[in-house]
């Protein structure tokens, strides 16, 4: 039903290109959707791309360009003149896509391309859109829309619609504005088709309209569309005038980007601005080293903590053997807990007001998980002692009790830290996703050591210590 590039397919295509087989290429492009052609471009080298692109009509070319991978597009456009870019791509694109493509170009090329755009309205729309921050509703919106004055009739509405049908890919609604161009409502296409053409707009339009401002955060605009199940969202300026509209496909990109940022933070690094493969070496190091160094410095406190217990370790080396096991169990449990809470906060399933319910729940869960791991730890030591005679010395039972009960404490503590930390961060107005698995693990490592050696000192006094 839909398209997947296979190696054979690509080989046949590359052969047709190198043979200059125009008929083959035309036939192929005829059959495919612009998104599929873009996927093919992602796999071709520059010369091949240029050969194929000459077979696209201008409208299709614009669509393909938008769907290409960013790095491929960048390379491809760099090989064209500003005039070619303007006339063969930008002229036929919707304003939001055009602005996105132009914003990726080097500054001097941007101006050249803009000067070559034939349609003055299109050029002015793009210049306008380039002014908005890309993380706002203004940065997401397109200028093309169909609007009709409140005092007109449905017939005017249909005329307006027909006049703009060519330039707008998908029309989902006609917006109703007053004499000052302020947005006051909308008419769905369904309504247009089911209402008499003589009806005054005023009598039939829907006043329940949801809109955002140009400076509304892009993630916020996405949340609004998601909450109200909208496919298109009008954007107004500071005084309520209709200036553009956001479509759902752009919002899905915002959602994907937002999720990527959360995941990267939760992986213990800064958010990358580019896809992994195109991220250059030094910027990538910078994004990763920052948090790694912070975590490393946090983790040096484990060396400090352990040096307090150096005498105990010297007397009972067996204690050192279980250090990684115990602290990692706390870290793993904490990582689970923080992941759960971060995600639930992001989806709005829990709110920070519920902190006490979360803590109560996680205290019980943590204790139970600690009990499970503690028992397994105890059994492991008992079993090994039986199998590998004397591997943990004559006081193995005391060691097993120490390890088992430390595990309960450390896991309980790790679980609690992991669940509280995101709530504290959120409360402090920070992003909860920063309480990443590595961050929680580092915190729990230091305290876990203190718990372990304190339990050991208590339980092994007079036996091993």
**Is position 243 an interface residue for a second copy (rule: CB under 8 A)?**
no
Cβ atoms within 10 Å of 368's Cβ, excluding its own? 14
The SS3 call for residue 105 is coil
Task: Give 123 or 444: the residue with its C-beta nearer to a second copy.
Answer: 444
**Is position 224 an interface residue for a second copy (rule: CB under 8 A)?**
yes
Least distance in Å: CB of 111 to a second copy?
Answer: 30
Report the relative pairing of strands 147-149 and 212-213 from DSSP bridges. Answer: unpaired
Task: Give 82 or 453: the residue with its C-beta nearer to a second copy.
Answer: 453
The angle subtended at Cα 381 by Cα 378 and Cα 383, nearest 5°, is 105
Residues 29-48 that bind a second copy (CB under 8 A): 33, 35
Tokens of 134: 């890309």
Distances (CA, A) of 377 to 221, 327, 387, 404, 406: 50, 13, 15, 6, 10
Residues 274-313 that bind a second copy (CB under 8 A): 275-277, 281, 284-285, 288-289, 291-293, 295-297, 299-300, 302-303, 306-307, 310, 313
- Count of residues that interact with a second copy, criterion CB under 8 A: 114
Least distance in Å: CB of 359 to a second copy?
Answer: 13
Residues 149-188 that bind a second copy (CB under 8 A): 158, 161-162, 165, 168, 170-172, 188
Task: Give 51 or 355: the residue with its C-beta nearer to a second copy.
Answer: 355
Task: Give 20 or 280: the residue with its C-beta nearer to a second copy.
Answer: 280
Least distance in Å: CB of 147 to a second copy?
Answer: 16
Least distance in Å: CB of 246 to a second copy?
Answer: 13
Report which of 131, 201, 125, 129 is spatially closest to residue 161, judged by C-alpha positions: 201
Question: 302-309 contacts: CB < 8 A, separation 24 or more?
Answer: 302/327, 302/445, 302/446, 302/449, 305/446, 305/449, 305/450, 305/453, 306/449, 306/453, 308/453, 309/449, 309/453, 309/456, 309/457
Task: Give 88 or 436: the residue with its C-beta nearer to a second copy.
Answer: 436
CB 168 within 8 A of CB 146: yes
Among 197, 317, 458, 463, binds a second copy (CB under 8 A): 317
Report which of 126, 191, 199, 123 is spatially closest to residue 156, judged by C-alpha positions: 199
The angle subtended at Cα 270 by Cα 269 and Cα 272, nearest 5°, is 115
Cα 292 vs. chain centroid, distance in angstroms? Answer: 22
Helix (H) or strand (E) holding 165: none
Residue 348: Cβ-neighbour burial (10 angstroms; 0-12, 13-18, 19+) = exposed
From the list 19-27, 123-131, 368-376, 423-431, the region that binds a second copy by CB under 8 A is 368-376
Residues 423-442 that bind a second copy (CB under 8 A): 436-438, 441-442
The SS3 call for residue 236 is strand
d(CA 334, CA 453): 20
Residues 98-157 that bind a second copy (CB under 8 A): none
**Is position 62 an interface residue for a second copy (rule: CB under 8 A)?**
no
Residues 319-358 that bind a second copy (CB under 8 A): 320-325, 327-329, 331-333, 335-336, 338-344, 347, 349-350, 354, 357
Tokens of 348: 């709005």
Task: Give 122 or 338: the residue with its C-beta nearer to a second copy.
Answer: 338
Task: Give 100 or 445: the residue with its C-beta nearer to a second copy.
Answer: 445
Residues 69-98 that bind a second copy (CB under 8 A): 69
Distances (CA, A) of 79 to 24, 45, 65, 109: 24, 12, 14, 12
Ramachandran area for residue 68 (φ above 0: left; ψ -120 to 50: alpha; else beta): beta
**Is position 210 an interface residue for a second copy (rule: CB under 8 A)?**
yes
Among 10, 155, 391, 463, binds a second copy (CB under 8 A): 391
> Hunting for tokens 């309504």 — which residue is that?
191
**Is position 379 an interface residue for a second copy (rule: CB under 8 A)?**
no
From the list 16-24, 82-90, 98-106, 360-368, the region that binds a second copy by CB under 8 A is 360-368
Least distance in Å: CB of 297 to a second copy?
Answer: 7
Radius of gyration of the chain (CA): 31
Least distance in Å: CB of 135 to a second copy?
Answer: 18
Least distance in Å: CB of 83 to a second copy?
Answer: 28
Least distance in Å: CB of 102 to a second copy?
Answer: 20
Residues 253-272 that bind a second copy (CB under 8 A): 255-256, 259-260, 262-264, 266-269, 272
């Amino acid at each position: 039903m839909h398209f997947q590039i296979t190696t054979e397919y690509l080989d046949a295509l590359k052969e047709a290109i190198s043979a200059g087989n125009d008929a083959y290429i035309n036939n192929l492009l005829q059959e495919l959707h612009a998104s599929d052609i873009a996927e093919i471009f992602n796999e071709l080298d520059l010369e091949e791309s240029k050969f194929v692109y000459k077979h696209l009509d201008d409208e299709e070319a614009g669509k393909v360009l938008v769907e290409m991978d960013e790095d491929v597009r960048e390379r491809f456009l760099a090989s064209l003149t500003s005039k070619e870019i303007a006339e063969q791509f930008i002229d036929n694109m919707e304003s939001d896509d055009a602005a996105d493509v132009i914003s990726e170009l080097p500054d001097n090329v941007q101006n050249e391309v803009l000067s070559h755009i034939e349609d003055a309205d299109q050029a002015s729309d793009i210049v306008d859109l380039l002014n908005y921050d890309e993380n706002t509703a203004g940065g997401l919106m397109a200028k093309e829309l169909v609007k009709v004055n409140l005092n007109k009739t449905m017939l005017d509405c249909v005329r307006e619609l027909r006049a703009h049908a060519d330039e707008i890919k998908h029309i989902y609604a006609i917006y109703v504005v007053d004499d000052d161009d302020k947005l006051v409502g909308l008419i769905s296409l369904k309504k247009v088709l089911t209402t008499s053409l003589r009806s005054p707009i005023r009598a039939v339009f829907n006043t329940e309209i949801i809109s955002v401002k140009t400076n509304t955060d892009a993630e916020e605009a996405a949340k609004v569309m998601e909450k109200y199940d909208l496919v298109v969202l009008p954007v107004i300026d500071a005084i309520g005038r209709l200036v553009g509209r956001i479509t759902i496909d752009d919002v899905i990109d915002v959602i994907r980007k937002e999720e990527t940022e959360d995941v990267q933070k939760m992986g213990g690094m800064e958010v990358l601005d580019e896809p992994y493969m195109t991220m250059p070496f030094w910027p990538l190091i910078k994004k990763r080293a920052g948090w790694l160094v912070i975590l490393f410095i946090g983790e040096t406190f484990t060396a400090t903590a352990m040096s307090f217990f150096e005498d105990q370790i010297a007397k009972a080396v067996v204690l050192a053997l279980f250090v990684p096991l115990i602290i990692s169990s706390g870290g793993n449990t904490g990582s689970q807990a923080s992941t759960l809470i971060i995600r639930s906060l992001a989806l709005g399933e829990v709110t920070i007001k519920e902190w006490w319910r979360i803590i109560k729940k996680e205290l019980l869960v943590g204790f139970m998980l600690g009990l499970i791991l503690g028992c397994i730890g105890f059994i492991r030591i008992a079993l090994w002692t039986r199998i590998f005679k004397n591997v943990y010395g004559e006081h193995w039972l005391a060691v097993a009790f120490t390890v088992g009960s430390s595990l309960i404490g450390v896991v309980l503590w790790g679980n609690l830290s992991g669940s509280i930390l995101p709530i504290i961060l959120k409360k402090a107005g920070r992003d909860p996703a920063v309480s990443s698995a590595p961050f929680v693990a580092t915190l729990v490592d230091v305290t876990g050591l203190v718990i372990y050696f304190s339990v050991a000192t208590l339980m092994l006094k007079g036996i091993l210590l």
